[in-house]
Structure 1
Amino acid sequence: MIFRGLCRKYFMIILGGMIQGFAMGVFLFPNSVPSGGAGGLTVLFNYWFHIPMGIALWLVNSSMLVIAVQNLGGASAIGTLAGITVTSLAVNFFEVNVYMPHSFVWLELLLGSVTLGVGVALLLRQGVSHGGIGIIALIISKSRRINPGKPLFWINGSIFVVTAYVIDWQIVIQALCCQWISTRIVDWLYNIRIPRKTPSLALDWRKK
């Protein structure tokens, strides 16, 4: 049972990382829209130093693992490392192999925000962070027993202002819209409770 639970946990982590990477690599990063605080720093590093998005994202996220180990425990840190590694690989893969015409930025922003929220929620439900500022948000969420979406929104907002100042002020509007939509999705999915059938119920049904 423990092995099965562990396999399920890491399957969900990998799935969440892939969905998050898809949202970033296909919809958000091509339009220079930061997906969060770590995404904002990733866009800046790419803008300043021309570092590939996937590599820059991994560098930013992995630097936060020390905080994860100290505050969330080793198991959560390992899960976070797995999540950010899958996300970074997915970003590189989708940027190279999936082409979008980018004809309507706001539609892509909506699709990317919803998809991002689904990926982040899957990771947070496994007790791991989606990386970067999400680690801090998860720590605040656990210590104050609140939904992680709210601290995630306000912390990332300050980083968006810097990103917009350097690149384009329109980015801050798009980034805040992305955060508002994605964090609403995160809060909604994070609070969903899926009922599970117990073996005793199954046996009772068979007896009937």
Structure 2
Amino acid sequence: MARTQTPDDAQEPHRPALSHSLLEDAQALLLGTALCALGVQFLTAAGLVTGQTAGLGVLLSYVTGWSFGLWFFLLNLPFYVLGWIRLGPRFVAKTVIAVTLVSLFSRGLPEVLSFDRLDPWTASALSGAVIGMGLMVIFRHGASLGGIGILALWLQERFGLRAGLVQLGFDALLFAAAFAILDPWLVTASLLGAVIVNLIVAVNHRRDRYIGR
């Protein structure tokens, strides 16, 4: 549906979205992935979990003893093919870089950052905030953290399944598994962080307000 022109629109010319330079993309991916890795550090230090592919990586790290960084990198490998078909090579290249950086940062942060005391609810809120902001930085520069989001977009395009419902269904199964494996109180606290992440993305990742004009 066409957007109704307002007086402000008539006075202000159309401004096409500007592409980012290589340096701008580099600093954004470093910042965004570092924030996401910091959020994962809050989660794992408090024994919490989150949603999407990152949440599956965290849960598998608890079960197997392998690091989150390794699991996160491995879990994303199958989705790159879908991303290439659905969103193109440029998007996939940036996403591979972002996933690799989060994996590396997540492996290195525990060596230089630890917590003597970390309340689970505080950890959950902080993780949701920094992961949400990290994702926004990554999204704005044409990348993602891969995984279930790419699969959801493909299923929507191929079979008509709504991407949001696919992701919601995956998170429901993930948290159900977490309740069976982890302390239910910690899983309940984890839900706060997942809600904060989704609220940050829902409010800020809007094409009509923030992405171009």
TM-score range, shorter chain: 0.7 to 0.9
Match of 1:16 in 2: 32
- Code of the residue aligned with 1:60 in structure 2: it is L
Match of 2:148 in 1: 133
Name the SS of the counterpart of 1:56 in structure 2: helix
**Matches of 2:45 and 2:69 in 1, distance apart?**
12
For residue 90 of structure 1, the aligned residue among 99, 105, 113 is 105
Please give the residue correspondences for 1:106-185 in structure 2 after superposition, counting only pairs within 5 Å.
106-137=121-152, 152-185=167-200
Match of 1:190 in 2: 205
Please give the residue correspondences for 1:41-52 in structure 2 after superposition, counting only pairs within 5 Å.
41-52=56-67
**Matches of 1:42 and 1:107 in 2, distance apart?**
21
**Matches of 2:54 and 2:38 in 1, distance apart?**
13
**Matches of 1:190 and 1:81 in 2, distance apart?**
21
**Matches of 1:149 and 1:121 in 2, distance apart?**
17
- In the alignment, is the contact (CA less than 8 A) between 1:41 and 1:163 conserved in 2? no
> Offset of 1:122 from its aligned partner?
1.4
Distance verdict in 2 for CA 1:193–1:15, change over 3 Å: same
**Matches of 1:194 and 1:66 in 2, distance apart?**
26
Match of 2:43 in 1: 28
> Offset of 1:151 from its aligned partner?
6.0
**Matches of 1:61 and 1:195 in 2, distance apart?**
29
**Matches of 1:29 and 1:157 in 2, distance apart?**
20
* Alignment pair present for 1:73 and 2:88: yes
- In the alignment, is the contact (CA less than 8 A) between 2:120 and 2:186 conserved in 1? no
Distance verdict in 2 for CA 1:113–1:151, change over 3 Å: farther
For structure 2, the 5+ residue unaligned runs are: 1-17
Distance verdict in 2 for CA 1:18–1:152, change over 3 Å: farther
Q: Percent identity?
A: 23
**Matches of 1:22 and 1:142 in 2, distance apart?**
33
- In the alignment, is the contact (CA less than 8 A) between 1:19 and 1:116 conserved in 2? yes
Distance verdict in 2 for CA 1:103–1:22, change over 3 Å: closer
User: What does the per-residue CA deviation read over 1:24-73, in whole Å, with 9 as the maximum and x for residues that have no partner?
Assistant: 12x11222322322233223322332111211221112332122122111
For structure 1, the 5+ residue unaligned runs are: 197-208
> Offset of 1:101 from its aligned partner?
2.0
Give the TM-score, by structure 2 length: 0.76
Match of 1:7 in 2: 23
Distance verdict in 2 for CA 1:22–1:77, change over 3 Å: same
- In the alignment, is the contact (CA less than 8 A) between 1:118 and 1:189 conserved in 2? no
Distance verdict in 2 for CA 1:14–1:157, change over 3 Å: farther
Distance verdict in 2 for CA 1:195–1:53, change over 3 Å: closer
Supply the RMSD in Å over aligned alpha carbons: 2.9
**Matches of 2:202 and 2:156 in 1, distance apart?**
12
